[in-house]
Structure 1
């Protein structure tokens, strides 16, 4: 949808894109300066495959300070974006026929990665009625002897759902009864939460399970550095080592300049995040209010990230039950969204509110007109 919106713009069409998942803010100046300094210093050579010692130290600081995970730099791997860390962990552990439980709606790449590795995706259905969260008993009902992964994303894409500490502890109780199950905790959106409660993550709430949990983070969402392609992950030595061997024989080290910039991101000032969160909160509130005022549309209030997953079930008969047709209809009216079916959902679409409030207001006007 993002590519199609760009094509239409190139043809002279006026299209507002709410399909892409990246902050619209500028990368902080101290991060840009660190990248320039690295270039001027000639830091343009290979680095250690799994990242520089300096960035591993900065990432370990991030995991301790921002997520509460006490980790050692030796248990950290630096990857070319958080996506690579997730892929490597799955590729190192999934064999043909293994099962991965993935809560849906899910981030689009989770099931594709599992299938690429020969695994079977087991959807764990959630709905807006329960805030797009599942009960631990629903998880246990899906576990079989072939289950070897549970994928968690909190705050989540595309729903903005956040798993509170008590729910994570309940999930931990289930996992203790099934020692073969590993857990992917994708916490990339952790800095973008809108409640007063501290961020909760499984490795902290259930430390006895730490040797089965890998936690993924990065700088893309928190520091508007999507193009720098830096992800960080921490987990048990055996898994981090296996991921490193895969990385050595596939991509090699992440970009040296991007690593220097990421050091500045983790080590530098974090106070700008408060302003960013408040801006996202205002946008969220405006979008939720406007969407819920449009006949046939509804959305819960997301607790984190910068997405709304919008239910359009009452309108789907107009689009032959195909939310892809709905998304194309909105695109023809000048707004690029993503169909809910792309995320394992149905009967709706996702929008990103990582856009200026005036732009969002114009996009919502177009959505309302298109569906009126």
Structure 2
């Protein structure tokens, strides 16, 4: 039976998406992804009465009765999370493994982090630094985070009162939402957005408003943003450099956002995990703008910059009155983060600037391979000024939407991309776009480009 994909109108995202099963439809060439309501567990519950199927046989065998009396218990999840199940990254990665495709979808490097950082972690383990760390961070790491932030922004922060170490930036985001957002508070996000944002805000009971950034430049529509701010707006959640588009918020956009927040007493939660992967302009932290530090939580992590995504070392920087809420939530989410990895992270953050310069040169070379290849294949490639992602328009190849295209790309071409509709509140806004990553070694990138040149054809 021929199977392919079509995204339903109510499909929503959750870069941790809902659970879908591939089921056939009568429409040739497409499959609809439908939400699953059955458990994957092997446990079964026996019922006291035979199932309807059992009654079709007047003399059922014992084996037939036993088989038809087994059912799966329904999935159980709180309403705040019932639409967030298996992520799109898991879905695409499973297809990639099944078809032996090159994974340019999920944003993790296929190469290792620097030896000096790994050796620092090994040394910390051997020195016995293996018990609970202080809840808000090993003092040495708090100091290193504060020093790096000061060097990057010119802001002097207190490592003891204004830096909180978390289990990756994702936990920093969750702790910030749970610690500072009340049920019913409005939070404005820019779509497309990192998929954990919506889930985190849902857990906090927030009302989400979305401002869509549109190609080719994904500029902030300032008038739309102004119209979205109301007396109930508690915060604006932003990400620069921006995943998935690679956009960097420019100084004019940052100043406009800052003015709105100051005028309306609105907080800013700024996700800056790609700050060292800014290729065409210097990264600007919105907290460094006049009047903004007192109303900003800046979130960052080690993983992207040092290719150590599995360590999950992140942090939140905020003034004491906002740090209090972040730490209260953090205390009851993870309490503390891996101790030896924190010691190693402190050493990593003290690396000389030459490390970051070499990192940027390396990623710019990888980006050039992918972008030149995607252009040659026939995509409309949109500018990427930061991160290690590139967004393209897939419509020249004739597939109905981004999900259908990504499934075709995996099965027929052997390359993985991520459909961007999962990063929007309204999936229709992203149905023409897919995201590729270039955080892979150069051979992998060249091999993927070669496959697309050979097998991908316009329809």
Residue deviations 1:67-89 (CA, integer Å, cap 9, x gap): 43321102000000011111111
In the alignment, the residues of structure 1 paired with residue 270 and residue 93 of structure 2 have an alpha-carbon distance, to the nearest angstrom, of: 33
Give the equivalent residue in structure 2 for 1:287. 370
Mapped partners of 1:188, 1:3: distance in 2? 22
Q: Alpha carbons of 1:9 and 1:325: their partners in 2 closer, same or farther (altered >3 Å)? A: closer
Does the CA contact (< 8 Å) of 1:329 and 1:370 recur in 2? no
User: What TM-score does the superposition give when structure 2 sets the normalisation length?
Assistant: 0.75
Partner Cα separation in structure 2 for residue 47 and residue 20 of structure 1 = 31
Decide whether the 8 Å contact of 2:181 with 2:206 is kept in 1.
yes
Structure 1 gap segments, 5+ residues each = none
Over residues 198-218 of structure 1, what are the superposed CA-to-partner deviations in whole Å (9 max), with x where a residue is unaligned?
321111123x12221010112
Separation in 2 of the partners of 1:167 and 1:265? 32
**Structure whose alpha-carbon radius of gyration is higher:** 2
Counterpart position of 1:312: 394
Residue matched to 1:105? 192
2:358 pairs with one of 270, 275, 280: 275
The separation in 2 between residues aligned to 1:133 and 1:28, in whole angstroms, is 35
2:333 corresponding residue in structure 1: 250
Count of residues in correspondence between the two structures:
363
TM-score with structure 1 length normalisation? 0.92
Distance 2:226 2:96 in 1: 48
Q: Deviation string for 1:119-162 (max 9, x for gaps)?
A: 12211011123x21204333111111121111111111101110
Q: Which runs of 5+ in 2 are unaligned?
A: 1-87, 425-429
C-alpha spacing 1:9/1:322, structure 2 compared with 1 (3 Å): closer
- For residues 167-196 of structure 1, the C-alpha deviation after alignment (integer angstroms, 9 at most, x for no partner) is 2112212222211x210111110101112x
Q: By how many angstroms is 1:106 displaced?
A: 1.1
CA change 1:367–1:172 in 2 (3 A) is: same
Instruction: Give the direction of change, closer, same or farther, for the CA distance of 1:6–1:294 in structure 2 (3 Å limit).
Output: closer
User: Which residue matches 2:415?
Assistant: 335
Distance, in Å, in 1 between the alignment partners of 2:96 and 2:233 is 45
Alignment of 1:1-372 (within 5 A): 2-4=89-91, 7=94, 13-73=99-159, 74-129=161-216, 131-179=217-265, 181-195=266-280, 197-206=281-290, 208-295=291-378, 297-315=379-397, 318-319=398-399, 321-332=400-411, 333-344=413-424, 345-368=430-453, 369-372=455-458
SS class of match (1:43): coil
- Greater CA drift, 16-25 or 321-330: 16-25
